[in-house]
């Protein structure tokens, strides 16, 4: 499948992935992230059952302390 990940095109062999699988595949091991699928917030507890498919717009934002 071809998706948009953080505004950039990305390709995966799989036809679909759960959000949790995508995070593991991309090695996003950050402690604090915010995830969105096609503009809609996906909460941490929803990442296991949220399916990412071809054409989806995915956002994974890693947050760091400071301000």
Q: Give whichever of 11 and 31 is closer to another protein, judged by the CB atom.
A: 31
Pick out residues in 36-65 that bind another protein (CB under 8 A): 36, 39-41, 43, 57, 59, 61-65
Q: What is the largest CA-CA distance in the chain?
A: 40
Q: How far is the CB of 13 from another protein (least distance, A)?
A: 26
Q: Is the dihedral of CA 29, 33, 39, 40 positive or negative?
A: positive
Q: Does 66 bind another protein (CB under 8 A)?
A: yes
Angle, alpha carbons 36-26-29 (nearest 5°):
80
Contact residues for another protein, defined by CB under 8 A: 6-7, 31-34, 36, 39-41, 43, 57, 59, 61-67
């Amino acid at each position: 499948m071809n998706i948009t990940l953080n505004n950039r095109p990305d390709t995966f062999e799989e036809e679909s992935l759960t959000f949790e699988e995508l995070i593991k595949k991309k090695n996003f091991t950050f402690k604090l992230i915010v995830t969105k699928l096609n503009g809609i917030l996906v909460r941490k507890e929803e990442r296991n059952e949220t399916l990412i498919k071809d054409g989806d717009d995915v956002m994974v934002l890693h947050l760091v302390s400071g301000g």
